[in-house]
């Protein structure tokens, strides 16, 4: 990279990024410092017997630490391009650092083999394997932040998938905790879902669930030592607080996985498994967070809706279509599946109204029935006296609004994510239905509700 190219990277924005909080260097100066270390490591890595002093390693560790800290600061202030440039040079620097360490490992291994000492070779291999943890740990920090940009800012799911798979490989090598590995696998499951790789998403979500459930809690210190009893009590309180927080986090994550898996099974037409995961989610949240918790209510509503349909149409219980390797090639729109899916009624309550949304075929409009909210617990929220009206939306326009892609998009209209987008852009105010998004309003075919014009 030439000096002119460096200037082009750091000077092509009207608004200048802030200085680094750690070194107080400007972005341009710090980028050039990073470039200098990158050049030096690239040169060292080409040597047959590369080496780094302890001082070199400390300096490089500080530089990469500042890249991570400074990139986070830039992301928070929306200097995304600059953060990406820093992370890019940080990642190639960490790759050269890893290459140097690997050559050093090979050199020590060769010496141990030459001595023909199996015990010594085992010790060397174990020791050097531990030494590789250092460059891999640095790279992991950079890759996690790079993933954050890919998923949150770029919405670049293919590269986010590639990035996250490498993160999981490094975490596995470093023997990361089950909790951290589960978090990565669940994120990967969500990316596969976005990429419409539903079978892979299902497998990864189940793996994440098992890892969360097998996360080890911190052990309590021994309280038999009377001299240290007061200190141990303090430590016990902290451990208990940490364990309670960990348990709540695990429960919340597993609850999210149950919701995610139920959604996948609905897309597959496997309503029995969908009901099972709604039921699991209901009892998990009921036991830990109580009946009034929003997640408990969500799972109960979904489970009740499915059970109601099972009672009306027993034939859909246990129905599961044959699937190929990818859901994209699954024949999910055959007559049986279409008929069964159309019997599912989505019900719930938004901020200003209750609603019913029956699943319909692709050729039929999207129907939404709205009910006024009455806080009297003795009145059925879906009673005729609370009926506000119906609206019909054009599915062809709605698919463009929701950015749906693929051959089997009809079921996608009824996922939680897309229903939330639609419902979140509607409200009842002063006897009128208000569209908060004009693009959603353009999908309207007909309405029995009074629509507010502006």
**Which of 138, 144, 158 is CA-nearest to residue 65?**
138
pLDDT category of residue 208 using cuts at 50, 70 and 90: very high
pLDDT at position 234: 44
What confidence tens digit (pLDDT) does each residue in 31-82 have?
999 999 999 999 888 888 888 888 888 999 999 999 999 999 999 999 999 9
Q: Give the residue-averaged pLDDT of 277-285.
A: 87
pLDDT category of residue 332 using cuts at 50, 70 and 90: very low
Q: Give the residue-averaged pLDDT of 165-172.
A: 95
Mean per-residue pLDDT over the chain, rounded: 81
Q: Examine the pLDDT at 155 and tell me if it is beyond 70.
A: yes
pLDDT at position 160: 95
pLDDT at position 245: 83
As a three-state string, the secondary structure of the chain is CCHHHHHHHHHCCCCCCCCCCCCCCCHHHHHHHHHHHHHHHHHHHCCCCCCCCHHHHHHHHHHHHHHHHHHHHHHHCCCHHHHHHHHHHHHHHHHHHHHHHHHHHHHHHHHHHHCCCHHHHHHHHHHHHHHCHHHHHHHHHHHHHHHHHHHHHHCCHHHHHHHHHHHHHHHHHCCCCHHHHHHHHHHHHHHHHHCCCHHHHHHHHHHHHHHHHCCCCCCCCCCCCHHHHHHHHHHHHHHHHHHHHHHHHHHHHHHHHHHHHHHHHHHHCCHHHHHHHHHHHHHHHHHHHCCCCHHHHHHHHHHHHHHHHHHHCHHHCCCCCCCCCCHHHCCCCCHHHHHHHCCCEEEEECCCCEEEEECCCCCCCEEEEEECCCCCCCCCCCCHHHEEEEEEECHHHHHHHHCCCCCCCHHHHHCHHHHHHHHHCEEEECCEEEECCHHHHCCEEEECCCECCC
pLDDT at position 271: 86
Task: Name the residue with higher pLDDT: 238 or 254.
Answer: 254
pLDDT category of residue 342 using cuts at 50, 70 and 90: very low
Highest mean pLDDT among 140-144, 231-235, 443-447: 140-144
pLDDT at position 237: 54
Q: Give the residue-averaged pLDDT of 351-379.
A: 86
**β-bridge partners, 426:** 435
Task: Name the residue with higher pLDDT: 123 or 257.
Answer: 257
Task: Name the residue with higher pLDDT: 4 or 183.
Answer: 183
Task: Name the residue with higher pLDDT: 293 or 187.
Answer: 187
Q: Give the residue-averaged pLDDT of 261-288.
A: 88
Q: Examine the pLDDT at 219 and tell me if it is beyond 70.
A: no
Q: What percent of the chain has pLDDT over 70?
A: 77
Task: Name the residue with higher pLDDT: 277 or 243.
Answer: 277
CB-CB contact of 402 with 387 (8 Å):
no
Q: Examine the pLDDT at 428 and tell me if it is beyond 80.
A: yes
Task: Give the torsion sign (CA, 298, 300, 305, 307).
Answer: positive
pLDDT at position 52: 82
pLDDT at position 183: 96
**Domain locations in the chain as residue ranges:** 3-176, 201-216+243-342, 344-454
Q: Examine the pLDDT at 451 and tell me if it is beyond 60.
A: yes
Does this model's pTM top 0.75? My answer is no
Q: Examine the pLDDT at 12 and tell me if it is beyond 80.
A: no
Task: Name the residue with higher pLDDT: 55 or 109.
Answer: 55
pLDDT at position 325: 36
Q: Examine the pLDDT at 339 and tell me if it is beyond 50.
A: no
pLDDT category of residue 323 using cuts at 50, 70 and 90: very low
pLDDT category of residue 127 using cuts at 50, 70 and 90: low
Q: What percent of the chain has pLDDT over 90?
A: 44
Q: Examine the pLDDT at 99 and tell me if it is beyond 80.
A: yes
pLDDT at position 33: 94
pLDDT at position 240: 58
Task: Name the residue with higher pLDDT: 262 or 331.
Answer: 262
pLDDT category of residue 289 using cuts at 50, 70 and 90: confident
């Amino acid at each position: 990279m030439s000096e002119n190219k460096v200037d082009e990277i750091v000077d092509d924005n009207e608004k200048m990024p802030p200085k680094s909080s750690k070194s107080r260097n400007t972005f341009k100066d710090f980028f050039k410092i990073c470039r200098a270390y990158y050049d030096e490591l690239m040169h060292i890595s080409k040597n047959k017997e590369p080496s780094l002093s302890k001082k070199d390693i400390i300096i490089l560790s500080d530089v990469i630490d500042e890249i991570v800290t400074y990139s986070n600061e830039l992301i928070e202030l929306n200097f995304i391009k600059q953060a990406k440039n820093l992370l890019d040079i940080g990642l190639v620097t960490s790759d050269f650092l890893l290459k140097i360490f690997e050559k050093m490992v090979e050199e020590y291994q060769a010496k141990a083999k030459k001595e023909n000492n199996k015990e010594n070779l085992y010790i060397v291999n174990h020791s050097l394997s531990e030494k590789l943890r250092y460059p891999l740990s640095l790279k992991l920090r950079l890759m996690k932040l790079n993933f954050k940009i890919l998923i949150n800012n770029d919405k670049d799911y293919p590269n986010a998938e590639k990035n996250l798979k490498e993160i999981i490989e490094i975490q596995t090598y470093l023997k990361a905790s089950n909790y951290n590995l589960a978090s990565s696998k669940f994120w990967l499951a969500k990316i596969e879902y976005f990429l419409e790789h539903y079978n892979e998403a299902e497998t990864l979500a189940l793996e994440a669930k098992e890892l969360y459930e097998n996360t080890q809690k911190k052990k309590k210190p021994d309280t038999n030592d009377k001299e240290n009893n007061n200190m141990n009590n303090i430590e016990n309180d902290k451990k208990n607080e940490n364990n309670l927080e960990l348990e709540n986090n695990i429960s919340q994550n597993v609850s999210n996985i149950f919701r995610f898996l139920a959604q996948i099974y609905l897309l597959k037409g496997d309503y029995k498994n969908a009901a099972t995961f709604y039921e699991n989610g209901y009892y998990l949240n009921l036991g830990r967070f109580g009946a009034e918790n929003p997640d408990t209510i969500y799972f109960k509503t979904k489970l009740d809706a499915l059970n109601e349909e099972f009672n009306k149409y027993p034939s859909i219980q246990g129905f599961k279509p044959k699937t190929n390797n990818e859901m994209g090639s699954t024949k999910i729109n055959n007559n049986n599946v279409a008929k069964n899916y159309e019997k599912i009624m989505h019900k719930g309550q938004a901020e200003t109204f209750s609603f019913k949304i029956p699943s319909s075929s692709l050729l039929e409009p999207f129907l939404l029935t709205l009910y006024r909210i009455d806080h009297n617990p003795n009145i059925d929220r879906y009673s005729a006296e609370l009926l506000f009206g119906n609206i019909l939306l054009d599915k062809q326009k709605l698919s463009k609004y929701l950015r749906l892609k693929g051959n089997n998009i009809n079921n996608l209209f009824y996922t939680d994510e897309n229903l939330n987008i639609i419902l979140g852009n509607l409200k009842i105010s002063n006897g009128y239905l208000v569209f908060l998004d004009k693009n959603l309003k353009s999908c309207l075919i007909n309405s029995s509700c009074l629509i507010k014009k502006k």
